[in-house]
Each structure stands twice: as C-alpha cells, then as structure tokens.
C-alpha cells in the first residue's frame, strides 16, 4: 500500500465510507439469513433510491466539515476540533437537509443520536450531550468517526484518543462507545500511513492500553477496552462492540 498517494488514501476513506453505507441501507435491520445476495440497489428497508447514504454517512460528512481548517490557511495539517460545532452541524442535518445525498430531509436516525440532538437543542454542551447509560451502546458514533483519523493524521496518538472520546460523546457517551472510537481511529491512522492490518491493530491496542493504564481516571475506559478485546459474539448487530469487529 505504500505506493498509493496520500490524497487517494484520504479520498478513498471517505468515498469508501459513503459507498459502504449506501450499499447497506437497503438491508438495514434484516437478519443475515434474509439478505442472501448483496447488491447495490435501492428501496429495501427504507425505500430509498440506490446510492443513498444514511444518517451515519451524513454525520460523518458533518464531522469532516467541522474539522476543515478556517478559510485561508495554507497548512495541510491544520484542523479545528470543536465538539460544539460538531453538535450544531448534527442539529442542522436533523432539522434541515444538510449533508443528505438528495437535499431532502433525513429518513432515519438512531434513538441515541436523536436523544443527543434534543439535548443539544436544549442547550447542553456537546461533549456532555450523548446518553451514557447501558442501553446507549449503539454504533452511531463509531460509524462516523473515520474523518477524525484522516483529518488529524498529523497529531499525536494521545490527542487523537482524547478527540475520539469527545467526538463520540456528542451523541454516544458510554465508555464502550468512546473506547471503540478511539481504537478505530488509532487503527485507521496506522493504515493511512501504510501499516498492514494485523500490525496496525496490534500497535493500536498496545497504545490505547498504555494510555489508559497511565490515566488514574481511566478505569471505565480500561474496563471497556478489556470487554472490547474479549468480545466474541460478533454477530453483526448494531451493538458497538459487535460493530467494531
């Protein structure tokens, strides 16, 4: 992979996310046995035209847009990380047509994400908007987190982990979701620089565990990482630990 241009890697990451999302939209909520042949098509679960990405693709675009540097900068590594700005963009998507593929209103939203959006509209700071109870462990924040790895590729791992936690908390505050996002970002950063998948995952796991062991306030994150690494079912549900694997 080392001979692939960086610009192609970045574009491929975002295009792959949106195409993969659109590919899956017609099959959402269906058990694996009922899917049979997977093809790029429309209608299905949500009655949408082929090529329509979901709330996850839209919120990934919103996050990417939020991370873009201010107009006029010449630094290719410049990013702006602002959870409140992310939250405002999420609300703009839900209340209008921002980041949709067809300029139409959103056709679906996860329950945890919707609860967070309502909390944002009530004025709570974005980093504390996402529900954190046991039932709020869906895959919503993990589905959109890739732009963080792409845009913040020049930052150190510790900052990348902190930002992954905060970006998740805008809609999904449970430590499981924060940890899954952080590990995913660390893996993606390594893949972006050309590491092979196996070594990338091993290095990311070691880095994240070291980060949590050195943090006296990181007990919940360490517990969530233990659970993620040991997770065996991997049945394809929307549960964040299933979804990561």
Expressed in percent and rounded to 5, the helix, strand and coil fractions of the chain are 60, 0, 40
Name the token pair of 231. Answer: 């997770």
Average pLDDT over residues 181-197: 96
pLDDT tens digits along 229-244: 999 987 778 899 999 9
Residue 239 bridge partners (DSSP) = 138
Residues near 149 by beta carbon (within 8 Å), at least 6 away in sequence: 13, 160, 184, 185, 186, 188, 189, 192
Which percentage of the chain shows pLDDT scores above 90? 76
- pLDDT band at residue 75 under the 50/70/90 scheme: low
Which has the closest alpha carbon to 172: 217, 211, 140?
Answer: 140
Average pLDDT over residues 36-57: 90
Domains detected in the chain: 55-244 (1.10.4080.10)
Element (H, E) at 190: helix 175-192
For the chain, how long is the longest CA-to-CA vector? Answer: 51
- pLDDT band at residue 140 under the 50/70/90 scheme: very high
CB crowding 163-186: b at 16 or more within 10 Å, else e: bbbbbbbbbbbbbbbbbbbbbbbb
- Residue 34 has a pLDDT of 82
pLDDT at residue 4 is higher than 80: no
Which percentage of the chain shows pLDDT scores above 70? 95
Tokens 């505050």, residue?
173
pLDDT at residue 21 is higher than 80: yes
The whole-angstrom separation of Cα 162 and Cα 74 is: 26
pTM score above 0.85: yes
- Residue 74 has a pLDDT of 56
């Amino acid at each position: 992979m080392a001979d692939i241009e960086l610009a192609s890697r970045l574009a491929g990451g975002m295009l792959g996310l949106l195409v993969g999302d659109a590919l899956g939209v017609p099959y959402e909520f269906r058990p694996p046995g009922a899917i049979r042949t997977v093809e790029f098509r429309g209608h299905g679960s949500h009655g949408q035209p082929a090529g329509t990405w979901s709330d996850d693709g839209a919120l990934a675009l919103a996050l990417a847009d939020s991370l873009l540097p201010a107009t006029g900068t010449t630094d290719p590594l410049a990013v702006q990380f602002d959870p409140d700005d992310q939250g405002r963009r999420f609300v703009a998507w839900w209340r209008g047509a921002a980041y949709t593929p067809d300029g139409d209103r959103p056709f679906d939203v996860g329950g945890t994400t919707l609860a967070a959006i309502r909390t944002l509209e009530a004025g709570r700071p974005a980093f504390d908007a996402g529900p954190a109870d046991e039932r709020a462990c869906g895959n919503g924040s993990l589905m959109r987190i890739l732009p963080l790895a792409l845009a913040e590729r020049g930052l150190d791992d510790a900052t990348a982990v902190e930002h992954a936690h905060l970006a998740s908390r805008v809609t999904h505050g449970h430590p499981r979701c924060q940890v899954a996002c952080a590990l995913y970002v660390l893996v993606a950063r390594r893949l972006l620089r050309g590491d092979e998948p196996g070594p990338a995952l091993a290095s990311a796991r070691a880095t994240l565990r070291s980060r949590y062991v050195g943090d006296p306030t990181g007990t919940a994150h360490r517990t969530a990482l233990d659970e993620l690494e040991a997770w065996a079912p991997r049945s394809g549900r929307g549960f964040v630990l299933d979804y990561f694997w």
